[in-house]
A and B are shown apart, each in its own frame.
Chain A
Amino acid sequence: MQKCFYLEGLASTFTGVPRQEEWVADLSSQDQVKVKHHQVDLRSGLKTAPWSWTSEVVLETPYEQKCYREAASLEPLSTSSSGPHLNQCPGKSCDPLALEEELMSASQLEEEEENGEGGEELDPDLAPEVEEEEGGEQEENDLGDPAVLSAVHNTQKGLLGSPGFKAPAVLGMSPASLQFLWQVSHSSLHPHALDIALAMKHPNHLTQLHPQHQRILKQQQQQEQLGRPPSPSATKPWSQQPDPYANLMTRKEKDWVVKVQMVQLQSENPCLDDYYYQEYYQKLEKKQADEEIHGRRNRVESLKLVTPYIQKAEAYESVVRIEGSLGQVAVSTCFSPRRAIDAVPHGTQEQETGAASSQRLQVLDWIEKMFLQLLEIEEGQKDGPLQPCDSEQHSNQVEKLFQALKTHKQNTQEEAADGFLQVLSVRKGKALVARLLPFLPQDQAVSLLLTITHHLPLLVRRDVADQALQMLFKPLGKCISHLTFHELLQGLQGLILLPPGSSERPVTVVLQNQFGISLLYALLSHGEQLISLDSSLEEHNRDRTAWTDMVILTAWEIAQMPTASLAEPLAFPSNLLPLFCHHVDKQLVQQLEARRE
């Protein structure tokens, strides 16, 4: 049925003779329908075989007329491409649906012929016209059209794809008529540019081009004038002719979707909810401001996502109870689209003491709480140099955190250290301490350092899996440089001296761990620095002798350790070797040097 409209259209434009209406009931019977005078007309117009079906096409709207005009432009030989003969309309009228179809088919065939692809091409004017003229109803129709059209298109494709047109029976087309179609499309090989150029010269509501299309064509024409062939991209059919199906989704609909998405994004605290984007945007703005300062006048304003601020309605009840009913109704909301059951825990927090796993969980929970405090501190500092009013609050926060770190539900002083060590056993705890250390006042930092140093073997043992102690090295290194000699000695003594009831020095374990050895070297280096700077210390001071003993012992331990198990330090201070040289004999120094390689 559709096919016959198309051919009818072609026929009428080629010959300009009006038709009498004749509806074909079904395609299979087309061959039987012959209208003599049509055949005659065709023969006069074109020397081709007759084909056998007709139907009346009525053009009622200017849009339809324009369609026909464009169709006429396909065939340069057409004698009458103007309107008058098309306006006759005895009998039934053809709806725009069929019209589009035939034009689609016409352009499709031509397109396929030319390019071998299936790009659906309609004349450029159609798309915007459709939008303007018809209202919402047409949009519905449009949706119908493409479906039908693509069905047509696909069958056509299938048809033309198969060599020899094996399936004319499908559409009831006789091979002869198909041949005619091919010839028609063959004969109109020139692009639409000429006719379109004409259209451009006489722009009216019927020949108005899509502005983008106009631009492209102008460009092409200019290029051709310059003698250059149009660039390959411009000759691609797609870029030349705008998509007839464009804007099926109207601006209003797009806005609606965007609105729905925005509503889901709203938040009262975007700096928290959307932290990363806000940070990124601030950085971007700063960069642009810098660029502007440096002379680039025209800075590109980058847009920011601004979520709508909608007054939050009173907290909705996501579970609705209807009086007198059993059970609940599942209400679907933004945050619970598919609420299957009311799975909110109502029980109180149970306190489990003694179970090892729960204790670990407690530690983890505690770390999380402290981390939140740390983040607040960092946030407060990030905003810029501290104002005097803020700094007090800042130091209060830091103090609070430090106290929290030190004492955690522990009653005695010993256990306080234990809690701290538990924190340090968790990777996140290490990160917490590492990030907190820069904020702490010196004495508190030193106390932490000493605790760490004192319990270093234990920490090292626990860290075997994670290897995360490294992150502590840098902040601790800074802290070490503030140590006094006495404190340093205290720390080292814990490591070097034999603990009661054991034959192994703690330092052996420490030397096998990267963090441990680095910390040890840093401590030794600092000690050496202190001594070389402060010559007021007496030679035979108890501290000095203790120091000397420790250095010797450490050197001995290092020499004892097989090279393979000696860990690679993160930083090797430059004054270590001279230090060892001072206190130990040459042989040992040589061994140490060998170790260092």
Chain B
Amino acid sequence: MNYMPGTASLIEDIDKKHLVLLRDGRTLIGFLRSIDQFANLVLHQTVERIHVGKKYGDIPRGIFVVRGENVVLLGEIDLEKESDTPLQQVSIEEILEEQRVEQQTRLEAEKLKVQALKDRGLSIPRADTLDEY
């Protein structure tokens, strides 16, 4: 039943598997069970998927209630095509390790950049978590 023609509504997405990207960068995959007018989401059998390069790891999380304003985007996952991915699934420990390594290399690169800029008398203000300002 088409509830609201001509609009984008989450009603038709209920009970389907979705991938949700949050503002803090996390990727959640779960079944969308319930919504409300603010697009707060209830995700069921949720799995937090961490991607590093070509590998990914799934951490089962259970039920999530996500406040709508923290969602960047979400999209339905085609269950049949879900398994044809070129990515390789690894264990949780491995992916967390990879993530830590990646984070570390990124921080070091950032540090070098900041140092190089400082040497030249420039400074880029650090982007805070509240990036609205």
Contact = CB atoms under 8 A, between A and B. Distances in A.
Interface of A: 118, 120, 146-147, 150-151, 153-154, 157-158, 232-233, 236, 238-239, 243, 245-249, 253-254, 257-258, 260-262, 264-265, 277, 280-281, 302-305
A152 to B, nearest CB: 10
Contact of A118 (B7, B15, B60): B60
Interface stretch (B27-35, B49-57, B114-122, B124-132): B27-35
Given A118-B60, A151-B62, A233-B80, A248 B5 contact: no
A147 B63 CA distance: 7
A254 B45 contact: no
A154 B62 contact: yes
Interface in B1-40: 2-7, 9, 11, 14-15, 31, 33-37
B14 A236 contact: no
Name which of A238, A245, A249, A265 has the most chain B CB atoms within 10 A of its CB: A249
Given A260-B37, A261-B4, A281-B6, 18 more contacts: A118-B60, A147-B63, A154-B60, A158-B60, A243-B31, A246-B15, A248-B44, A249-B14, A253-B34, A257-B36, A257-B37, A258-B4, A258-B9, A264-B37, A280-B6, A303-B5, A303-B6, A305-B5
Contact of A157 (B36, B44, B60): B60
Nearest to A247: B15
A246 B33 CA distance: 8
Contacts of B45: 118, 120, 150, 153
A258 B6 contact: no
27 contacts: A118-B60, A120-B45, A147-B62, A150-B62, A154-B60, A157-B60, A158-B60, A236-B79, A245-B31, A247-B15, A248-B42, A249-B33, A249-B34, A254-B3, A257-B35, A258-B9, A258-B11, A260-B37, A261-B7, A261-B37, A264-B37, A265-B7, A280-B6, A303-B6, A304-B5, A305-B5, A305-B7
Contacts of B36: 257
Contacts of B34: 248-249, 253
B33 A248 contact: yes
Interface residues of B, number: 24
In the A-B complex, the 10 residue pairs with the smallest Cβ-Cβ separation, listed nearest first, are A303-B5, A305-B6, A260-B37, A249-B34, A150-B62, A246-B15, A248-B33, A154-B60, A258-B3, A305-B5
A236 B35 contact: no
A305 B4 CA distance: 6
A158 to B, nearest CB: 8
A338 to B, nearest CB: 12
B11 A254 contact: yes
Contact of B6 (A232, A247, A277): A277
A302 B5 contact: yes
Nearest to B58: A118
Contacts of B62: 147, 150-151, 154
Interface of B: 2-7, 9, 11, 14-15, 31, 33-37, 42, 44-45, 60, 62-63, 79-80
Nearest to A146: B44
Contacts of A239: 79
Contact of B80 (A158, A236, A249, A262): A236
A150 B63 contact: yes
B60 A261 contact: no
Nearest to B37: A260
A146 B3 contact: no
B14 to A, nearest CB: 6
Nearest to A304: B5
Contacts of A243: 15, 31
A232 B81 CA distance: 12
Contact of B9 (A248, A261, A277): A261
A120 B44 CA distance: 11
A222 B9 CA distance: 37
A253 B35 CA distance: 9
A390 B71 CA distance: 51
A233 B44 CA distance: 23
B80 to A, nearest CB: 6
A466 to B, nearest CB: 32
A302 B5 CA distance: 8
A262 B4 contact: yes
Contacts of A261: 4, 7, 9, 37
Contacts of A157: 60
A264 B14 CA distance: 22
Nearest to B60: A154
Contacts of A262: 4
A286 to B, nearest CB: 16
A120 B45 CA distance: 9
A245 B15 contact: yes
A304 B7 CA distance: 10
A209 to B, nearest CB: 18
A245 B34 CA distance: 11
A260 B6 CA distance: 16
Contacts of A150: 44-45, 62-63
A158 B79 CA distance: 23
A264 B37 CA distance: 10
A315 to B, nearest CB: 23
Contacts of B3: 254, 258
Name which of B2, B45, B80 has the most chain A CB atoms within 10 A of its CB: B45
A265 B8 CA distance: 13
Nearest to A232: B80
Contacts of B60: 118, 154, 157-158
